[in-house]
Structure 1
Amino acid sequence: MEPTNSKEKILSAAAKLFRKKGYHATSLSQITKESSAPRGSIYYYFPDGKQQLAKEAIQKTGERVKAYIEKSLASHEDAAAAIQYHIKMMADRMFEQVENEADISLAAMSSEVWSSNETLRMACEDVYNEWEQVYADKLVCSGYEQEEARQLGSAIQSWIEGAYTLSLTKNSTVPMQIAADQIGKLFANKN
């Protein structure tokens, strides 16, 4: 979907550049040029500059991915089947998502800013916590205790992030497929 207003165009351009070049290597002048926004409009919409742009891009990515996770998990009543389905769906469309530059790479952003920008590190942490909670909520609905579901939600997110990174590195969905299969086995052994 093509952004329609200047603020959205700037945010979309920033996300695209952060994804391609990284946070530190992206300048406000590059964002202005990429967005075709009038000079000065970045500070009009984002008074705190690049950090605010990055934080909003992180949050927007978080919201879009969270909605996708919720929709995907709603496909099956059983948590194990839903999570397995979700990972397989991610694998099936992961390379088309790489082409969709509306979202930043949360893993890359986290790796880049964890020691240099506490505001952005915390924004990434908040998004990951929200995603983990979606998995935990699904597990609670399937009969898991709150604390076990919370820990499993964190483990599932960690497994997905690792498998996603390996899939990109290997240019293959096999690591994602393996993660889905192994999570299925993990839950099967639980029952």
Structure 2
Amino acid sequence: MTTRDSRERTVRSAALLFRERGVDATGMRQIVEHAQAPRGSLQHHFPGGKEQLVVEAVEWIAGKAAEPLEASLEADPAPPPRQVVAELFDRFRKLLRMTDYRAGCSIAAAVVDAGSASDAVALATANAFRRWTGPLERALARGGMEQARASRVALLVISAVEGALIMSRARHDMEPLDAVATEIDLLLSAS
């Protein structure tokens, strides 16, 4: 295992644990064990401690969340916005099933636990949501929606996904996510 592999696994493990347990409830020792990384690697790779790891985990998960949306922008022919949004909801359905409703969103977890967090974490979470909404906004605009409205609808979709994800986790069922997906689809079909 290379040093880079160890570092990347640690960031990924942090993001995965944060989405299930939250930032405050996830200890550095748990992250290292999950990543199967040497304990001493934390000080080497993350001299800024947990704060630095939270920032990097949020940046990593934002990239993962944005990847399929960005890929849809590159597709030829481009999928219609309704399909792009439906696939976003499908990814969260799969995540909930795969983790037996334990996983949420690492970005949201960092925001929730940000009461005592630094400006760096707050900035990272704001940037993460921008990175996620940006390609969705572009997909909506490419589908014919006026730019200002595309921006608002992208925010609505991400906000609705996050809220429905929390409710589905709490209820341990897909009904909130499915209901929100249906209503968002109806909104988009009327656009």
TM-score (norm 2): 0.81
Residue pairs, 1:124-135, within 5 angstroms: 124-135=125-136
1:78 aligns with 2:80: yes
- Describe the shift of the 1:183–1:38 C-alpha distance in structure 2 as closer, same or farther (beyond 3 A): closer
For residues 130-141 of structure 1, the aligned pairs below 5 Å read: 130-141=131-142
Return the alpha-carbon distance in structure 2 between the equivalents of residues 187 and 31 of structure 1: 40
Q: Distance in 2 between the 1:26 and 1:177 partners?
A: 30
- In 2, distance between residues paired with 1:66 and 1:17? 19
What CA distance in whole angstroms lies between the structure 2 residues aligned with 1:90 and 1:29?
29
- 1:70-125 Cα offsets, whole Å, 9 max, x none, are 44675963213432x224423541324537x9996221221111453221121111
Does 2:15 match 1:18?
A: no
SS at match of 2:190: helix
Give the unaligned 5+ runs of structure 1. Answer: none
Counterpart code for 1:66:
A
Q: Equivalences for 1:84-99 in 2 at 5 Å? A: 85-98=86-99
Structure 1 Cα separation of the partners of residues 111 and 33 of structure 2: 25
User: How far is the alpha carbon of 1:66 from its aligned partner?
Assistant: 0.9
Letter in 1 for 2:141: V
- Give the conservation status (yes or no) of the 8 Å contact 2:55–2:121: yes
How many residues align? The count is 186
Give the AA of the match of 2:31. Answer: I
1:187 aligns with 2:178: no
Listed as ranges, the gaps of 5+ residues in structure 2 are none
User: Percent of counterpart pairs with the same letter?
Assistant: 27
1:92-131 to 2 correspondence within 5 Å? 92-98=93-99, 105-114=106-115, 116-131=117-132
TM-score, normalized by length of structure 1?
0.81
Q: RMSD across aligned C-alpha pairs, in angstroms?
A: 2.9
